[in-house]
Amino acid sequence: MSKIVIIGGHGKVALLLAPILTARGDEVTSIVRNAEHAVDVTETGATPLLLDVEHASAAEIAAVIRGADALVFSAGAGGGDPDRTYAVDRDAAIRTMQAARDAEVRRYVMVSYLGAGPDHGVAEDDSFFPYAEAKAAADAALRATDLEWTVLMPGRLTLDEPTGGIDPTAVRAADNPGTSRANVAQVAAAVLAEPATVGRDIPFTDGDVPIAEAILPR
Ligand SMILES: NC(=O)c1ccc[n+]([C@@H]2O[C@H](COP(=O)([O-])OP(=O)(O)OC[C@H]3O[C@@H](n4cnc5c(N)ncnc54)[C@H](OP(=O)(O)O)[C@@H]3O)[C@@H](O)[C@H]2O)c1
C-alpha cells in the first residue's frame, strides 16, 4: 500500500486514476480547489483535500502532502487564459516539486503531453503557445530535481473506454490516434508501481502493447 496524492483531483484523468489506486489498496488524497467537487472524489474511494495550488505557497503544499509516498500532478488550467495557464501549469507545478522535496515525497509523476518540450513547435501566435511553454518549463524543472520522477506524455486525450494497450513509440504527428484518459489513468497507476519508470519520459497514444510491458525501458 502506498499513500498517493493527486493534484487536480477532480480532473477527468484523476477521477479515473483514484479508483484504480484505491481498489488495489493505496491510500489516495485528491487535492481539489472547489469544495463542491469533494463528493465526486469521495466516490472514487479517495479523500478530498481542499487547496488551490495556484495560490498556495510551496510550504502550504508541503504541509498537506507530508507523509505521502508519491504525488501525481494532473492539474491544469485547461487553456484559455494565458496568465492562468502559466500560473497553474508552470508555476504551481514547479511549487509542488519544491513542496515534494521539502516534504520528502520522493516519487513524482507528471501528466504532460506528447510533443512537450522546448522544441514543441507551437507558434507564438497560437493560443496553445502558453500551454506548450508552461509544460516545457514544468517538465524541465522536474527532470532537474533529484526526485524520483516520471513524465507521462499522452497524445490528444479522449473519453474512450480503456483498452489496456498503448503505443510507447508514439511521436507527435497530426494523424496520431487519440489517447484514452482511462488508459492514461492505467498508465499512471502502473508507473507508480514500477520503479523502472523512474527518471524517464513515457510518450504514448492508444496502441497494442499491454501497459505493463509498454512502460518498461526498451
Ligand atoms: N486535453 C488534452 O488533449 C491533453 C492531452 C495531453 C495531456 N493533457 C494534460 O493532461 C492533464 C489532465 O487532463 P484532464 O483531462 O484530466 O484535465 P482536466 O479534466 O481539465 O483536469 C484538470 C484539473 O485541474 C484542476 N485545477 C486547475 N487549477 C487548479 C488549482 N489551482 N488547484 C487545484 N486544482 C486545479 C481543475 O480543477 P477545476 O475543475 O476546479 O477547474 C481540474 O479538475 C491536463 O491538465 C493536461 O495538462 C491534456
- Domain chopping of the chain, boundaries: 3-214
With residue 132 as reference, give the H or E element that holds it: helix 129-143
The finding on whether 113 has its CB within 6 A of some atom of ligand 1 is: yes
Please tell me the CATH superfamily of domain 3-214, with its number: NAD(P)-binding Rossmann-like Domain (3.40.50.720)
pLDDT for 80: 86
Closest residue to atom 11 of ligand 1, CA basis: 74
Measuring CA to CA, how many Å separate 40 from each of 12, 32, 193? 11, 11, 25
Closest residue to atom 9 of ligand 1, CA basis: 112
Query: Rounded CA gap, 53 and 100, in Å?
Result: 13
pTM of the model as a whole = 0.98
pLDDT for 18: 98
In this predicted model, what pLDDT tens digit does every residue of 35-66 receive, in sequence order? 999 999 999 999 999 999 999 999 999 999 99
pLDDT over 90 at 133, yes or no: yes
pLDDT for 1: 85
**How remote is the CA of residue 9 from the centroid of ligand 1, in Å?**
9
Average pLDDT over the chain, rounded to an integer = 97
pLDDT for 200: 98
pLDDT over 90 at 100, yes or no: yes
In this predicted model, what pLDDT tens digit does every residue of 101-114 receive, in sequence order? 999 999 999 999 99
